[in-house]
């Protein structure tokens, strides 16, 4: 696989763009092929088998773009499908959970870690399993926050309604004396300022998007896959609603998204 091949990044929708953004920031020369499964979003309410089937189709599609590595920029897809994808793939496949969990273990001083995410993601209990597996002394406090994704997608990033909803979701978490909080959904970095205000300045927020980009850089470096070009070429694909996706992507990415193409993902 040539070094200047692109990195494949996929998510159930637009959330994974926060991961793509971190990759662009940390590795500005790397090209990205992004796929958002906007026709079948959300993954959080779907069964493991369904999410595995969907993820395999997307990997098949990304491989047609000759990607040199794949980032599963979706917490649910990482929880449900990462192992299968890694087993079946010849190129590196990286998820968002391990990097986030490792950073949380580094950040915590009192061993009390909160995790927030969608209902489906929290139900998998993946962060708790992974954190306790590495360090049996940490205590994990998971909390599902189903309204954050629709609030982000409605653009209410600093809105009083988002503050009010965050206060309700965090009221219980605040009683647990956590000092670290994992943003276990790729949409949440977009409201991290609001969340930080509500949870308090003493709690460290862990952004798995940032940590995943760091891990990816390390993996590419180890495998000698870092690109040697200067100007990257990014491509964006979705399974439905290309125009809406493009508009959203342009509000959060550091580059201009000129074109987004529709893909019939069920053919893969």
Residues within the interface to a copy of itself (CB under 8 A):
38-41, 45-47, 50, 146-147, 149-151, 153-154, 160-161, 164-165, 240-241, 244
Distance CA 179, CA 160 (A): 25
Nearer to a copy of itself, 130 or 169 (CB): 169
Q: Tokens representing 177?
A: 């004396």
Q: How far apart are CB 144 and a copy of itself at their closest, in Å?
A: 10
The token duo for 122 is: 């929290």
Q: How far is the CB of 98 from a copy of itself (least distance, A)?
A: 26
CA distance 71 to 133: 23
What's the order of all strands across the beta sheet hosting 204-206?
139-144, 112-117, 180-183, 204-206
Of 88 and 154, nearer to a copy of itself (C-beta) is: 154
Nearer to a copy of itself, 110 or 264 (CB): 264
- CA 99 – CA 222 distance, rounded (Å): 16
Is the Cβ of residue 149 or residue 182 nearer to a copy of itself in the bound state?
149
Owner of token pair 């993820």: 55
Whether cis (ω within 30° of 0) applies to the bond prior to 42 is yes
72 closest CA partner among 99, 103, 106: 99
Give min distance, CB of 39 to a copy of itself, in A.
5
Closer Cβ to a copy of itself, 13 or 208, answer by number: 13
Q: How far is the CB of 94 from a copy of itself (least distance, A)?
A: 27
Show which residues are catalytic. Answer: 74, 185
Question: Smallest Cα–Cα separation from 252: which of 16, 35, 77?
Answer: 16
CA distance linking residue 19 with residue 206, whole number of Å: 13
């Amino acid at each position: 696989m040539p070094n200047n091949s692109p990195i494949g990044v996929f998510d159930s929708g637009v959330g994974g763009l926060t991961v793509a953004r971190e990759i662009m920031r940390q590795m500005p020369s790397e090209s990205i092929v992004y796929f958002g499964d906007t026709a079948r979003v959300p993954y959080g309410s779907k069964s493991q088998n369904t999410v595995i089937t969907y993820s395999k189709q997307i990997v098949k599609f990304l491989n047609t773009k000759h990607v040199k590595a794949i980032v599963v920029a979706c917490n649910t897809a990482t929880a449900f499908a990462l192992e299968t994808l890694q087993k079946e793939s010849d190129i590196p496949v990286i998820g968002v959970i391990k990097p986030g969990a490792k950073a949380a273990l580094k950040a915590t001083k009192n061993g009390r870690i909160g995790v927030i995410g969608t209902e489906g993601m929290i139900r998998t209990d993946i962060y708790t399993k992974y954190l306790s597996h590495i360090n049996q002394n940490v205590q994990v406090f998971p909390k599902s926050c189903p309204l954050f994704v629709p609030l982000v997608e409605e653009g209410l990033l600093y809105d009083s309604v988002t503050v009010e909803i965050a206060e309700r979701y965090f009221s219980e978490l605040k009683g647990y004396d956590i000092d670290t909080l994992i943003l276990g959904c790729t949409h949440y970095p977009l409201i991290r300022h609001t969340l930080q205000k509500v949870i308090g300045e003493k709690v460290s927020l862990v952004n798995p998007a940032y940590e995943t980009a760091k891990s990816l850089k390390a993996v590419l470096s180890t495998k000698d896959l870092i690109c040697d070009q200067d100007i990257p070429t990014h491509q964006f694909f979705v399974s439905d609603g290309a125009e809406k996706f493009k508009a959203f992507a342009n509000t959060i990415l550091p580059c201009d998204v000129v074109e987004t193409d529709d893909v019939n993902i069920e053919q893969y």
